[in-house]
Amino acid sequence: MGDAFEDDRNRMVAAQLAARGIADGRVLEAMRRVPRHLFVEPGLQPHAYEDTPLPIGARQTISQPYMVALMSEALELADGDERVLEVGTGSGYQTAVLAELGARVFSLERIPELAFRARDLLDALGYRDRVTVEVGDGTLGWPAEAPYDAIIVTAGAPQIPRPLIEQLGPGGRLVLPMGEEELQGLVRIRRQPDGIAEEYLGDCRFVKLRGSYGWEEP
Ligand code: SAM
């Protein structure tokens, strides 16, 4: 990429991701490519590669790099053109990582100002062909584009939103944080021929998933 943050980015990938067990080389490579500093507010750019979430406005956050890597890996994307629904565009950083992994991403964000900002940035970075961002309640999914090979929810859900299960294709994976307001478990749901399998991948802490099948709107 050759920008002023390239060394920071490579250090982030080595120390925060590879050293902590992210083993999928495609995820590591994708996160070496995406310029995370462009997805944070200008004043926070010097902190963009630190081991932490950061505020992005509207009381929301860009997720910690490790969490982006862990969730990207957990989606088990095949090479090329898998259809992915993302619920919670936020800054668009996770969206860009998914696009770098070769996915065709449909991303929903409930806060218009975040959706529009992310869309503009993703377009400017050349992801227009792979990414569509819309404003909407992602707990309802995006039925017109279903079924999906994978669905990622980047806000904490009180339960699994039923429409997302319904929009998951055969063999599809749904990765979401689920649990209490303050602490959730990262869960992977897999649609198998004989039903739904659920795996626990570790503890995590996300802002709330709000909407029809999420927490109540404030
Ligand atoms: N992955 C994002 C990134 O890389 O910047 C961070 C996402 S942030 C932790 C969670 C986002 O989910 C917030 O922007 C929030 O507005 C959004 N959100 C919460 N509930 C939602 C819903 N029902 N539909 C769509 N977006 C939702």
pLDDT per residue as tens digits for the range 108-150: 999 999 999 999 999 999 999 999 999 999 999 999 999 999 9
Q: Would you say the CB of residue 90 lies under 6 angstroms from ligand 1?
A: yes
Sign of CA dihedral 78, 83, 84, 89: positive
In the chain, the domains with their CATH numbers are 64-204 (3.40.50.150)
Cβ distance 52 to 64 under 8 Å?
yes
Atom of ligand 1 nearest to the CA of 213: 23
Tokens of 144: 């017109």
Q: Which residues are catalytic, by number?
A: 63
Tokens of 188: 């992977």
H helix or E strand, kind and range, residue 191:
strand 184-192
Q: Would you say the CB of residue 107 lies under 6 angstroms from ligand 1?
A: no
pLDDT per residue as tens digits for the range 69-114: 999 999 999 988 899 999 999 999 999 999 999 999 999 999 999 9
Q: Is the pTM of this model over 0.95?
A: yes
Q: Residue 154 and residue 62: Cα distance in Å, rounded?
A: 10
Give the mean model confidence (pLDDT) for residues 154-171. Answer: 97
The confidence score (pLDDT) of residue 209 equals 98
The confidence score (pLDDT) of residue 79 equals 86
